[in-house]
């Protein structure tokens, strides 16, 4: 099974932040071992660029890019027409970045690694934290 990550999940894993949920940590560790694939929506990378530029993450964006480039188990998923069309069907979530992440999860038939309670409570996608 594949998993999609949201922004906080990926940043908190890469920085060793204790806020990362145990199940989420387990999935990232499995990806590092080559056991599963984690899909990274391109919007997640855009958000991480913004966070890194504000120096709020404790890491540099090039570290994130290098990690993804070196691993076969982190796959970037582009923002394309299929994603945008799926976004228009998601009505219960207002925030556009979250809708793009959810759409990616739906299109790839993947569970979503997220702490976001609005997303989890919506039951649009299966979530793990």
CATH assignment at residue 117:
3.40.50.1010
Q: Determine, yes or no, domain membership for 127.
A: no
Between the two ends of the chain, the Cα-to-Cα distance in Å is 16
The Cα–Cα gap between 32 and 30 comes to 5
**101 is a domain residue:** yes
- pTM for the complete prediction? 0.94
24 and 3 Cβ atoms separated by less than 8 Å: no
- Average pLDDT across the chain, whole number: 95
pLDDT tens figures, 55-71: 766 788 999 999 999 98
Domain that holds residue 106: 2-121
Cα(38)–Cα(95) distance, rounded to whole angstroms?
A: 22
Strand pairing class (37-41; 127-128): unpaired
| Total length of the chain | 129
Percent of the chain whose predicted confidence (pLDDT) is above 90: 89
- Report if residue 129 sits inside a domain: no
Q: Are 97 and 50 in contact (CB under 8 A)?
A: no
In a domain, 11, yes or no: yes
Residue 1 confidence class, pLDDT cut points 50, 70, 90 = confident
Asked if residue 51 is part of any domain, the answer here is yes
C-beta of residue 4 within 8 angstroms of C-beta of residue 110: yes
Question: Does some domain include residue 104?
Answer: yes
126, part of any domain? no
- DSSP reduced 3-state for 2: strand
For residue 73, the SS3 value is coil
């Amino acid at each position: 099974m594949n998993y999609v990550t949201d922004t906080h999940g990926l940043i908190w894993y890469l920085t060793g932040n204790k806020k990362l949920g145990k199940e989420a940590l387990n999935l990232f560790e499995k990806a590092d071992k080559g056991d599963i694939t984690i899909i990274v929506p391109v919007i997640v990378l855009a958000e991480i660029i913004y966070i890194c530029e504000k120096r709020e993450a404790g890491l540099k964006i090039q570290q994130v890019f290098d990690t993804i480039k070196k691993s076969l188990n982190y796959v970037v998923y582009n923002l394309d027409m299929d994603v945008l069309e799926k976004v228009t069907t998601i009505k219960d979530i207002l925030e556009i970045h979250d809708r793009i992440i959810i759409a990616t999860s739906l299109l790839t038939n993947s569970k979503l690694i997220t702490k976001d309670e609005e997303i989890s409570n919506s039951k649009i996608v299966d979530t793990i934290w």
